[in-house]
Structure 1
Amino acid sequence: MAMSDTPGRRILLGRVIGAFGVKGDVKLESWTEPRAAIFRYQPWILRTPQGAERELRGVRGRDTGKHVVAQIPDIDDRDTVEAMRGTEIYVPREALPPPKPGEYYWVDLEGLRVLNLEGVDLGTVSHLFSTGANDVLVTRDDERERMIPFVTPQYVHGIDFDAGVVTVDWDPEF
């Protein structure tokens, strides 16, 4: 199936980690909670490690306890699946349910301006990542990149989507 023009942002939900059995079932790493929720969000946009993309609908699957296993339409042999190893699974942001009041998806923060309590512009949100101990907000401007612990209210004081601003307690020189 050809890749359609998908407007808006994409959310990375998982990736192909290998074959499951000999009939073309696909073993996935899923970052949804619960893991099998990855099948609720479609269409999938598959992006190979080489950068090729295609849109996919009708994926079914299950959580076996040890793995998340998918049946992808038109794939019925192990060799085809092994060639997909490392393929990332994205969905359009619009495929996800709206967040509950006071909640948001990380991708919704990307592109927001980051200002400290004194109003100093620290750039825009590039991305966020988890360290295990806490999440980290990464900002970029023309001169540098900053990594700010995403800890509320100690460092992150507020998010104003209407103004497009994240307010942080952070030294601009750090």
Structure 2
Amino acid sequence: MTQHPQETVIGRITSVFGVKGWLKVFSYTDPKDGILNYRDWTLVHDGKRIPARLEEGRRQGQGIVVRLKGIDDRDVALTYSGAEIRVPTEELPALPEGEYYWHQLEGLEVFTVDGECFGFVHHLVETGANDVLVVRASESSIDQRERLIPYLPDQVVREVDLAANRLVVDWDPEF
């Protein structure tokens, strides 16, 4: 998932809804309907960047449905299926100290409390119980293994230093 430095992915268009151009959206925001707080989207589909404006949206069952400006036909809406929904990071609300957006953690170098390098955070996965850091090896890592490390602040994740591009974990290198 390649991102521009000043934007982040907040969801994905999954399919059409009805015959009037509405779209089903899978939201990455928490809460799920938080995606409706952003009006100006950039859709990325098949390598193309498409500006879009959210006209209206609502919860529909377990999901979200939206209507974008200028899309009022099911066939036209269908062409947007699979598009990523991106917004400028400057539009995201500030988080309390010690909390981070996923895009802030992606790319950080990961070190053990003893200073051994595991690699870098490639992405995160939501499991239900807790989020998981997917850490991929780098040239400076102790080995070439990919590691799945639970994102548990104060238990496993001991330090996040965005300025130093560094994350420190209490994690056994053999695990």
Query: TM-score interval w.r.t. the shorter chain?
Result: 0.7 to 0.9
Partner of 1:117: 113
Partner of 1:126: 122
Q: Superposition pairs for residues 63-74 of structure 1, below 5 Å?
A: 63-74=59-70
2:23–2:66: 8 Å Cα contact kept in structure 1?
A: yes
Change (3 A) 1:136 1:22: same
Runs of 4+ in 1 over 3 A off after TM superposition: 64-67
Q: Superposition pairs for residues 1-174 of structure 1, below 5 Å?
A: 8-48=5-45, 50-140=46-136, 141-142=138-139, 143-174=144-175
Partners of 1:147 and 1:67 in 2: CA distance: 28
TM-score, normalised relative to structure 1? 0.83
* Structure with greater strand percent: 2
What SS does structure 1 have at the residue aligned with 2:12? strand
Change (3 A) 1:127 1:66: closer
Q: Where does the alignment leave 5 or more consecutive residues of structure 1 unmatched?
A: 1-5
Partners of 1:73 and 1:51 in 2: CA distance: 21
What SS does structure 2 have at the residue aligned with 1:22? coil
2:41–2:54: 8 Å Cα contact kept in structure 1?
A: no
Tell me the C-alpha RMSD between the 2 structures. Answer: 2.2
The letter of the residue matching 1:10 is: E
- 1:120: how far off? 1.0
> What percentage of residue pairs aligned between the two structures are identical?
44
Partners of 1:42 and 1:31 in 2: CA distance: 16
- 1:66: how far off? 4.8
Question: Structure 1 stretch 102-111 or stretch 10-19: which is displaced more?
Answer: 10-19
Partners of 1:133 and 1:92 in 2: CA distance: 29
Partners of 1:67 and 1:152 in 2: CA distance: 29
Report how many aligned residue pairs link the two structures.
Answer: 168
Change (3 A) 1:101 1:57: same
Change (3 A) 1:94 1:138: same
Partners of 2:62 and 2:174 in 1: CA distance: 46
What SS does structure 1 have at the residue aligned with 2:97? coil
- 1:58: how far off? 4.3
